[in-house]
Amino acid sequence: MEAQAFSGAAPAVTAARSNAPRAGRESVRGQIAKPMAPQSAATLRLSASSALSGRALRAHKKGKAAVSRTQPAPVTAQAQKPAVNVTTVEAKVSSKDVVAEYVTSRGGSRPLRRILVANNGMAAAKCIMSMRRWAYLTFGDSSYLRFVVMATPEDLNANAEFIRNADDFIEVPGGKNTNNYANVNLIVQTAIREGVDAVWPGWGHASENPKLPTALKEAGIQFIGPTASVMSVLGDKIAANILAQTAKVPSIPWSGDGLEADLTPEGTIPRDIFLKACVTSEEDAVTTAERVGYPIMIKASEGGGGKGIRMVKDPADLIQAYQQVLSELPGSPVFMMQLCSQARHLEVQIVGDEHGNAVAFNGRDCSTQRRFQKIFEEAPPTIADPVVFREMERSAQRLTQNIGYIGAGTVEYLYNAATKTYFFLELNPRLQVEHPVTEGITGVNLPSIQLQVAMGIPLNRIPDVRRFYGLDPDGDSKIDFMNDEYILPKKHVIAARITAENPDEGFKPTSGRIDRIRFQSSPSVWGYFSVGTNGAVHEYADSQFGHLFASGETREDARKALVLALKELLVRGEIRTAVEYLEQLLGTEAFVGNTIDTSWLDGIIAAKQLSGTTEPQLIVLSAALCRAHSIFKEEERWLQLALEKGQEPSLISLGKARATEVEVTYNNIKYVLNAKRLATDIVTITLGDKVVTSRLREQSDGTLLATFLGATHRLTAQEEPLGMRLELDGKVILIPTQFDPSELRSDVNGKVVRYLQQDGAQLEKGKPYIEVEAMKMVMPLLSTESGIIKHRVSPGGIIEAGELLASLTLKDPSRVKKITMFKEEDWRMMDEQPSEEELPAGGEAPVLEQFRSAMETVNLIMNGYDHPVEPTVQKLLKHLSDPALFEGYLAEAVMKTGDAMPEDLAKLIREGQIKTGQELQKAMVDSKEGPLANLLKKSDPILAPLEAVVDTFKEGRWGYSLLTFSEIITKFYDVEKNFAGKAFDAASKRVKSKAASVPEACNILLAHHALSRRTQMVESLLGQLSTLPQRCSVSEFTPYPREFPATLKKLNGLQGRNYGEIALMAANIREERKGRPFEQRLNEMRAALLGRVSLRRIWDGTDMGNDVDSLVTSPTLGVDLLPSLFDDKKPEISSRALEVFLRRVYRAHNIEELMIEEDEEEGEVGEGEKLLKV
């Protein structure tokens, strides 16, 4: 992946815990490749090398096990650590424990060396990266920390970065997160079995489940986060709001208005008070909404990251939204609060320790949200009044201190910039994905601070915290976190989340393969990704797979840096991304002016303000070019595959490899276009009588550079179940597949949650009919037409994009929107195509350039491409016979020779006194300057260009023309010799065996497939031989160069009816050049017609016979002589001449009977003439 690289993988040998031996493990993982961390004893352990892909890791896992495969018993509340059951290798290492020394020196109480990362994706990748960095900077060796990760089959197959970067991975069940990363029992079992010191929960999954720290505490394993009781009370949004009200922090009107409570001895809100704030039924939801007022928010207290939250403006949508929240987070308490309009979403990043301290690391502005899912995050929150924001920080610190909060957390507020007032929103008892924004303005490493806090180190002894306050990082002085002022940020940071979502479909999540990610960090922008090249975003993953962070001295500097980074970011694969959309958002007036609020982005999406205005014809042409290019490549691939397997190539594939029909439907208009390949890199698209020619060049990453209509465009296309996903110059456009309007299909991968309309119900267009879960989000799908519904997939069923979910008996088929065919008069864009005959601004191109262009077209025709033959031949002859052709070759040679040419020779050329190759040779020999004659004898390379001109035109334009003819004819013969007289199957096998490679054999077959056009080319050239002497200003009796008759003889050797005419023409030309008198040839024809002599095959001299059939089929018969014998004095000669002529003309027909008689009654016959009746 061309992206920000993670820090180097830590060593593969893990220090054994002296107080907690590890349990038996299931299997071997990875390879040993790194030095052992200093420790009194160490367990040699096979680990996941970062050099291996996820698939390779899992394949390696199936190898020989080096450890036992004991399965531990299920963990209970009183579970004890199992005995050691693992093969170990003892190693003598230094007794110095630098981790323990560091912890002790900083006032901590527990060294943590081996960490289980109970998460995946972005969270796991960032944890390993940040903690390793801290270990290296602190100890000079990142191997003092060891990371074990959990890995589902989906993450392994997706080539997830966190698995590659971990020291060890444990394969866990796949599917939804309750099977793995949110499964508390599984996490605890894994932690015990792997002998870890601590568990890092990350964000999402089980990070806010109090059962996890409870179970880990009972197992003697440190949880890197708050205690269970605090997590329970503050992590629960309902309890947090009650506590905020109790602490007199302003709150928004909500379902628990006015409720206050003191914590119980167990650290929880009294249950009766808690339940009063909950919305427990649909009826309760209706009542609460009426009291609080619309618009209203419905929230699951355990939700987050856009999950388990819905906004409702209309009472009609209330019940459905309430049910969706319940579905996304089953079992979570639900509450409701009024939507605060024109508000900004501001956050304070807090960290508390077990010594009663709480620090606020400034804050973030996360107001750019879509469906309450953050899109951009920035810091510091410049919109807030500094005095008011400092009070927001202190409020967050007091709240966390009062309840003994330990670890990293985020206190969220709604802030009204106009009134400078704020309201408590919630407290997230975990680190958040946007925490690098805070790191960017404060210089702290938050995951490492989490780790040090979990080690028991006081906040004022942590180096990053002390630097934040401008103190000596190695000091131990106290810090009054409530009153001491930290160093204010000196720069601004803006972050963009990179997600697998489709902005054209309401940001629906997508999943699938990622072929390539290209991102280049710079001094002002960095980023990280959870997957790499040849990875994937699977259906159970979070939609976010990347995060970019841009910094600058001002907000505007950071914004511009982020725009540039998004322009350069490239993601290729099956997924959709919102990268282009984010780039447009950053350029809007509201974002630039910082006048946005939390509803701003949803308003833009609803109004489709950033939908783009690409010309429809440009989209259709681009889609047609991509489809045609794909078809041509695929057909050639099938041809090569057939040859490799020894099969007969398909004639259909041979045809479609050079010409095909493509259909494109866009904006409900169907276009049927004809695509033709004129060269390896040239394709024409024809629509009606309009033609567009494009030059295509495929890049190594699959991008097509297409030049047409005066511009070059970057195109990529991916065929998907719902249609083609076209990327045109960075803009993604869906070219839909046509479906029956009575079919309702899924546009996401996921699972059916429930029916919103039962079978037989009357469904209206635009109304939801089913709920599906895709990438942890529950969403309704809307009907595209009205009718009676019948479902095809049951609730719980797994679905893919394009799958049929339900069918409709249409309410009114006549009102269904129909696909219409294009109207040619509406296709104005093609009229801008420059005429092929238009000349460049500088006038007509030089003759040599035009000749080479004509030869290029000739060669393309001979390679099987479809170009007009006769115009090409006429252009070729025109340039061959032009004296300026020699002058062009001579000028080119002079330029190559340069100063090495003698001055007297150069003068002759400049004055135009050299017109032929012979004159050039003489002038070179006669040159008076220098030993030129001796140089010529030695074939000095300096004069090689001039010698080449002499050799080319040694027999003038006549000789060069026939040399050119010979090259073209030989090209024809070299292909057709493989097929003459053979069945196609046998010929194709011969081609495969004789060709140097399969692609070469494929090219021969494709050329042969265009035999008719290639034959036309050769016949046209042979037909022009009679005029060539006049064109070249030589006598018609000028002999051919000796190579040319040999070339004609090759044509005579081609057997089979496909080559009859061309062999005949070649034979006649050879006969004519023998110079026999006409009367002699006529007498020989009379003898042949009377059967006195037998015809012989020119190519092998064998007897062909002397009957009529032999005369009709003979390729060597002088057909031009037959009309001269129609009035021969001997009736048998005239009749036989007429019969042979007619049978040759109509040989494609089966002539059952042919009668020829003399007719003296009908018509007038002149003297010396007679009338024959057929």
- Contact, 421 vs 400, CB < 8 A? no
DSSP string, 1047-1069: HHHHHHT--SGGGHHHHHHHHHH
- Contact, 1098 vs 1052, CB < 8 A? yes
Cα torsion angle, 588, 591, 595, 601, sign: positive
For residue 786, give the DSSP letter. Answer: -
Q: What is the spatial distance between Cα 991 and Cα 640, in angstroms, rounded to a whole number?
A: 12
Give the active site residue among 430, 677, 725, 1086.
430
Q: How far is CA 462 from CA 96, 199, 479, 687, in A?
A: 22, 20, 11, 71
Backbone angles phi, psi at 484, to 5 degrees: -65, 140
Q: Which residues pair with 411 in a beta bridge?
A: 348, 427
Q: What is the spatial distance between Cα 228 and Cα 800, in angstroms, rounded to a whole number?
A: 39
Q: What is the spatial distance between Cα 650 and Cα 8, in angstroms, rounded to a whole number?
A: 52
- Structure tokens given for 361: 């690391």
- Structure tokens given for 1155: 């009668």
- Helix 884-897 to helix 847-862 angle (10° resolution) is 100
User: Is residue 17 among the annotated active site residues?
Assistant: no
Q: What is the spatial distance between Cα 581 and Cα 559, in angstroms, rounded to a whole number?
A: 15
For residue 708, give the 3-state DSSP assignment. strand
Q: For the sheet with 222-223, list strands across it.
A: 168-171, 146-151, 114-117, 198-200, 222-223
Q: Which one, of 797, 751, 777, 755, lies nearest residue 300 by Cα?
A: 777
Q: What is the spatial distance between Cα 667 and Cα 1057, in angstroms, rounded to a whole number?
A: 51
Q: What is the spatial distance between Cα 1160 and Cα 246, in angstroms, rounded to a whole number?
A: 130
Say if strands 114-117 and 198-200 run parallel, antiparallel, or are unpaired: parallel
Contacts 24+ apart (CB under 8 A), 1143-1150: 1143/1108, 1143/1112, 1144/1112, 1144/1119, 1147/1112, 1147/1113
Rounding to the nearest 10 degrees, give the CA dihedral for residues 128, 131, 133, 139: -130
- Helix 446-454 to helix 121-139 angle (10° resolution) is 70
Q: What is the spatial distance between Cα 973 and Cα 910, in angstroms, rounded to a whole number?
A: 42
- Contact, 1085 vs 1134, CB < 8 A? no
HSE (side-chain half, CA atoms, 13 Å) at 82: 22
Q: What is the spatial distance between Cα 924 and Cα 901, in angstroms, rounded to a whole number?
A: 10
For residue 313, give the DSSP letter. Answer: S
- Contact, 162 vs 118, CB < 8 A? no
The DSSP element (H or E) to which 711 belongs, if any, is: strand 711-720
- Contact, 293 vs 338, CB < 8 A? yes
Q: How far is CA 152 from CA 12, 114, 155, 158, 1033, in A?
A: 21, 21, 5, 10, 82
Which residue spans within 590-698 are E strands per DSSP? Answer: 659-666, 669-679, 682-687, 690-698
- Contact, 99 vs 134, CB < 8 A? no
> Which of the residues are catalytic?
430
